[in-house]
Structure 1
Amino acid sequence: MADSPNRRVLVIGGGTSGNAVTVLLRRAGLRVDLIEARPDWNATTGSGITLQGNALRVLRELGLWERVRASGFPFGTLGITAPDGTVLHVAEDIRTGGDDLPATLGMQRPQLQRILIDAVRASGATVRLGTTAESLEQDADGVRVRLSDGSEGRYDLVVAADGLNSATRAAIGIPDTPEPTGMGIWRIAAPRPEGVDRTDLAYGGPAYIAGYTPTSEDTLYAYLVEGCRDRASVDAADHAEEMRRLAQAYGGAWPEITKHITDPKRVNYTWFTRMLVEGSWHRGRIVLVGDAAHCCPPTLAQGAAMSLEDALVLAELLTSGRDWDDELFQSYYDRRIPRVRAVVEASVQIGQWQLDCVRDADVPGLIGRTMNLLKELP
């Protein structure tokens, strides 16, 4: 098995981790089918994303760094402001990807997805959109899969990259599900006001955090974090009004940003959640990557980075010449879990300190320790 040139892999889910692992496995010559439930492949969904250096390091390994750099907005500092916009402190971001990459890069999330989609298409993988896995039947050597389009196929491995609410995770008997942490976030993409050239975060006011990140020369995404409310209590038609109400309490660049919070369809409201599958991320020949295995609040901006690192480590092991057995899949988990656990726990802790109104919490120390850990290769 270790030397077979004809191994066939099914990747379920065409998000960040699924796309990345597809490109890496195709590069090694494996046959890869990717299925994605959404017909639009999530190419138009989302406002913005913050990519730390360790995420950029994986994107460079994928051969995508030049396109990402051209599409995003790199920067190296973080501003802390008062609610009125007064800058209280400017900190240097830790270069988790090494000195030859920016510490941080903001970009429009749909643009990152389109870059990954192009890479998958160019890799030669077979892609089926609007398609899900209806059944998974395993034996010692592989998995027979029936798809929602009525087709069936046999695979040497199934990679479950189907996100937070992974149906594959549940289907293989892993009971973990995302749990709310007590916070909710409003997000919107908007034009970038002149002078906004880094992330600024304001603590206090009606929201726990009011922040924005430049995503290109012309755009940014802005976000407001509050205690989570019953989603049913806020009609989607009122999303812009609700976000604008919170935003009006903040100064600095916020008055200019607030002018563009007008279309409720462009405002996204979600809860912060946490999950960390413990013990192993596989059952037989089905293995989890990315949000299907772990998720956390974006307080460290490490969600995409952890998903990309999962894809890199799993692909490295699968193409190492070793047998695809429990030992290999357990080694994948063992390599990833200390790093992912540190990120999940720190991300949740930062939010919990805010919920508990802990005034003397060592937030900079916790962030520094965690980000310095991430400078090491995954």
Structure 2
Amino acid sequence: MLIGQDIAVLGAGVAGLAVAQALALRGASVTLYEQAPEITEVGAGLQISPNGACVLAALGLDAPSRAMRAKGVQLMDGYSGREVLRLDFTAARPDADFLLMHRADLIGLLEQGVRALDIEIRLSHKVERIHGDADGVKLQFADGSEARHAVVLGADGLHSKLRPMLNGPAKPFFTGQTAWRATVPALGHEEPIAMVHMAAGRHVVTYPLRDGSLINIVAVEERSDWVEEGWHHAGDPAELMRNFANFGPGVKGLLSRVEEVSRWGLFRHPVALRWHSERTALLGDAAHPTLPFLAQGANMALEDAWVLADCLATLPLDEALPAYQAIRRPRVTRVIEAANANAKNYHLKGPKRFLGHAALRLAGKVAPKQAVERFSWLYDFDVTKGSV
């Protein structure tokens, strides 16, 4: 179905680069548009779980060579530094790829795969208007130029031009939480474990990157004010320290080494009701922005990319795009609901916090593997083995 098919992809982030490669590997003629003058990502860390790693492997990309293999996740009492619960990946899933990866390294790996294929990359192309008809889709760019393609896929993120065309305007709502993101040099003895330090109304996630040379930090707090949505708004390291001053010495020691930090407001967007038209479709954050409390944003983008390419390769266009939405929407909705639940559980206060942590400690002693098994529906899901 895809041999020679003319498909444009908007956005060279994780979703866009992955779907461009997945389509080209199936024979499509792909043009990738990116509004920035180069494909780059300053970002910080992300976690690739097995459901995302299997897509990278199916694309022929060696993600483990660019990442650290995570041993597990530790939930910690943010005040005392005492362990509450450990999700041990090495015991529950010894052969699975749980990876700790710098976002720039993932983008670099995906770009390498795209450039190895016959994919036209057009940088500095900011889409202003999209017009679809029965025969194709016309793109109009900020510089006045135009292009026409048979199919257009919107992997253009939170500020997608395609999403409001399909769903109308939508205003996200502020969650009452602000996040801080930074990296600091590692001291050299950190285990490859994602640690979640939980406190009342706040939590801090830390894990090593790049062979243990860096520590990734994401600190989230409940507060009534906010900054604009997006990762690249500069924050004040001194304010970060003040706002998390009641954490234990381990966390405060990390935060004291932060020299540059970004800060952004966390907004909740609804999962798009409509993901496609006759010749267009959304994927990744353009379809379902995800809060960072289950580490699944990049993984869902990778899953979307594979399933969308698979649908287009095996079904006629008028069946492929509806099938893609039918397959993906229920799963991403479940993932987002689970992430939202984590946000609440990390920030428990008063008696609920004491009882919740006690229950988790007991569960960890009685059934230590069960903490990972609870998420088998997420981690063990392999879109590359499915059939449309």
TM-score (norm. length: structure 1): 0.87
Deviation at 1:160, TM superposition (A): 0.2
Distance in structure 2 (CA, Å) of the matches to 1:370 and 1:177: 31
Sort the Cα spacing of 1:323 and 1:295 in 2 relative to 1 into closer, same or farther, 3 A: same
Indicate yes or no: 2:30 matched with 1:32. yes
SS at 1:185's partner residue? strand
Structure 1 CA distance for aligned equivalents of residues 129 and 91 of structure 2: 43
Cα deviation, 1:214-256, whole Å, max 9, x if unaligned, reads 11221120121101453459xx665211123245443364344
Q: Is the 8 A contact 1:13 1:37 kept in 2?
A: yes
Q: In 1, distance between residues paired with 2:96 and 2:379?
A: 14
Displacement of 1:90 = 2.2
Letter in 2 for 1:20: A
Cα deviations by residue, 1:24-82 (Å, 9 ceiling, x for unpaired): 111122111111112232x24211111111111111111112xx212211112211222
Q: In the alignment, which residue of structure 2 is the partner of 1:73?
A: 68
Correspondence for 1:335 among 327, 331, 343:
327
Cα distance in 2 for residues equivalent to 1:180 and 1:244: 23
Would the aligned equivalents of 2:184 and 2:257 in 1 still touch at CA under 8 Å?
yes
Q: 1:339–1:370: structure 2 CA closer, same or farther, 3 Å change rule?
A: farther
- Contact 2:182 2:216 survives alignment (8 Å): yes
Counterpart position of 2:222: 227
Q: Deviations over 1:257-299 (max 9, x none)?
A: 2342123xxx111222333435431022110000000022111
C-alpha separation between the residues in 2 aligned to 1:297 and 1:15? 17
TM-superposed CA distance for 1:374, in Å, is 4.1
The correspondence for 1:101, drawn from 93, 96, 99, is 96
Which residue in 1 is equivalent to 2:85?
Answer: 89
Deviation (angstroms), 1:314: 0.2
The whole-number CA distance in structure 2 between the counterparts of 1:374 and 1:141 is: 40
Query: 1:293 and 1:8, CA in 2 relative to 1: closer, same or farther beyond 3 A?
Result: same
- Which of 323, 338, 342 aligns to 1:346? It is 338
* Cα pair distance change 1:366/1:99, threshold 3 Å: closer
- Unpaired runs of at least 5, structure 2: 364-369, 384-388
1:372 to 2:367 alignment: no
Task: Report the counterpart of residue 366 of structure 2 in structure 1.
Answer: none
Please say if 1:304 is aligned against 2:298. yes
Distance between the aligned counterparts of 2:175 and 2:90, measured in 1? 26
Amino acid aligned to 2:320: L
> In 1, are the aligned partners of 2:235 and 2:262 still within 8 Å (CA)?
no
* Cα separation, partners in 2 of 1:216 and 1:120, compared to 1, 3 Å: same
In the alignment, what sits opposite 1:200?
195
- Gaps in structure 1 of 5+ consecutive residues: none
Aligned residues: 363
Contact map agreement 2:198 2:347 (CA 8 A) in 1? no
Report the equivalent of 1:142.
136
Question: Counterpart amino acid of 2:46?
Answer: I
Q: Is the 8 A contact 2:55 2:302 kept in 1?
A: yes
Q: In the TM superposition, what is the alpha-carbon distance from 1:120 to its structure 2 partner?
A: 1.6
Distance 2:280 2:99 in 1: 33
Equivalent residue, structure 1, for 2:242: 245
Cα pair 2:38 2:123 within 8 Å, conserved: yes
Per-residue displacement from partner, 1:62-108 (whole Å, max 9, x unpaired)? 1112xx21221111221122223233432224999x75332x21111
1:12, distance to aligned residue in structure 2 (A)? 0.6
Identity %: 29
CA contact (8 A) 2:167 2:274 kept: no
Alignment deviations for residues 5-39 of structure 1 (CA, whole Å, 9 cap, x no partner): 33211101111000000011111221111111122
Contact 1:178 1:295 in 2 (8 A): no
Provide the residue aligned with 2:60 in structure 1: 63
Q: Secondary structure at the match of 1:268?
A: strand
Determine the C-alpha separation between the residues in 2 that align with 1:369 and 1:330.
30
CA contact (8 A) 1:185 1:270 kept: yes
Shift of 1:159: 0.3
Equivalent residue of 2:269, what SS?
A: strand
Deviation of 1:373 after TM superposition, in Å, equals 4.1
Deviates more, 1:353-362 or 1:153-162: 353-362
| Residue identity in the other structure for 2:159 | N
Mapped to 1, the partners of 2:178 and 2:100 lie a distance apart of 21
Change in Cα spacing, 1:5 to 1:109, as seen in structure 2 (3 Å) is closer
Q: 2:6 aligns with which of 1, 5, 8?
A: 8
1:319 deviates by 1.3
CA RMSD of aligned residues (A): 2.7
Structure 1 residues 209, 20: CA separation in 2 closer, same or farther (over 3 Å shift)?
Answer: same
- Match in the other structure for 1:313: 307
Which residue in 2 is equivalent to 1:116? 110
Letter in 2 for 1:349: A
